[in-house]
Structure 1
Amino acid sequence: MPPPSPTLRRRRIAAELRRLREERGLTLDHAARELGVARSTMSRIENAQVSVRLSDLRTLLELYGVHSDEAASLVQAARDARLRGWWHAYSDVLPSWHEVYVGLEQEASEICVFEVALVPNLLQTADYARAVLRAELPGAPATEIERRTEVRMKRQHEEGRSALRVVLDEAAVRRVVGGPAVMRAQLERLVAGAEAPELTVQVVPFGAGAHPSMIGSFSILAFPEPVDPPVVYVESLTGSLHVEGDDTEVYARTFRALQAAALPAAESLELIREAAKAM
Structure 2
Amino acid sequence: MPARSVITARQERLGVELRKLRERAGLSGREAARALGIAETKLSSTEVGRVGVSAERVRHLAGEYACDDAELVEALVSMATERERGWWEEFRELVPTGYLDLAELEHHAAALRTYQSMHIPALLQTEEQIKAIFTATVPKLSAEEIDVRTRFRLRRQDVLGGVGYRAVIHEAALRVRAADAKVARHQLLHVLEQTERPQVTVRVVPFDVDNYAGVDTPFVYANGPVPQLDTVLADTPHGGAFLDAEAQLSRYREVLRKVEGVALGVVESRNFIHRLVQQM
Report TM bin, short chain.
0.7 to 0.9
For 1:157, the aligned partner's letter is D
**Are 1:233 and 2:233 an aligned pair?**
yes
Match of 1:52 in 2: 51
Number of aligned residue pairs: give it: 260
Cα distance change, pair 92–201 in 1 and its aligned pair in 2 (3 A): same
Match of 1:207 in 2: 208
For 2:187, the aligned partner's letter is Q
Match of 1:71 in 2: none
Mapped partners of 2:77, 2:123: distance in 1: 34
Matches within 5 A, 1:166-245: 166-208=167-209, 211-223=212-224, 225-226=225-226, 229-244=229-244, 245=246
For 1:15, the aligned partner's letter is E
The TM-score with structure 2 as length reference comes to 0.77
Deviates more, 1:145-154 or 1:190-199: 190-199
1:135 Cα deviation from its structure 2 partner: 1.2
Report the 3-state secondary structure (helix = DSSP H, G, I; strand = E; otherwise coil) of the residue aligned with 1:117: coil
Mapped partners of 1:210, 1:32: distance in 2: 53
Mapped partners of 2:158, 2:92: distance in 1: 19
For 1:153, the aligned partner's letter is L
1:35 Cα deviation from its structure 2 partner: 3.5
Matches within 5 A, 1:1-279: 8=10, 11-12=13-14, 14-16=16-18, 18-19=20-21, 21-22=22-23, 25-28=26-29, 34-36=39-41, 42=44, 46=47, 50-53=49-52, 78=80, 80-81=81-82, 84-158=85-159, 161-208=162-209, 211-223=212-224, 225-226=225-226, 229-244=229-244, 245-279=246-280
Runs of 4 or more, structure 1, over 3 Å off, are 6-14, 22-25, 28-37, 74-78, 80-84, 158-161
Task: Show CA shifts across 1:127-173 (max 9, x none).
Answer: 10110111124421111101101011111114664311111110011
1:85 Cα deviation from its structure 2 partner: 1.9
Quote the RMSD (CA, aligned, Å).
3.6
Mapped partners of 2:207, 2:79: distance in 1: 49
Task: Show CA shifts across 1:37-84 (max 9, x none).
Answer: 8xxx94x853xx6442569x97xx69x869xxxxxxx99964x55653
Task: Show CA shifts across 1:195-248 (max 9, x none).
Answer: 12211111111101563543121111113x227621111023433222222321
Mapped partners of 1:212, 1:101: distance in 2: 28
1:266 Cα deviation from its structure 2 partner: 1.3
For 1:271, the aligned partner's letter is F
Cα distance change, pair 189–156 in 1 and its aligned pair in 2 (3 A): same
Deviates more, 1:187-196 or 1:91-100: 91-100
Cα distance change, pair 208–105 in 1 and its aligned pair in 2 (3 A): same
Deviates more, 1:26-35 or 1:192-201: 26-35
For 1:11, the aligned partner's letter is R
Mapped partners of 1:29, 1:95: distance in 2: 36
The TM-score with structure 1 as length reference comes to 0.78
Mapped partners of 1:174, 1:227: distance in 2: 35
In the alignment, structure 2 segments of 5+ residues that lack a partner are 1-7, 66-75
For 1:52, the aligned partner's letter is V
Mapped partners of 2:31, 2:134: distance in 1: 46
Alpha carbons 1:8, 1:103 under 8 Å: kept? yes
Report the 3-state secondary structure (helix = DSSP H, G, I; strand = E; otherwise coil) of the residue aligned with 2:258: helix
Alpha carbons 2:206, 2:263 under 8 Å: kept? yes
Cα distance change, pair 9–159 in 1 and its aligned pair in 2 (3 A): farther
In the alignment, structure 1 segments of 5+ residues that lack a partner are 1-5, 67-73
Mapped partners of 1:227, 1:257: distance in 2: 19
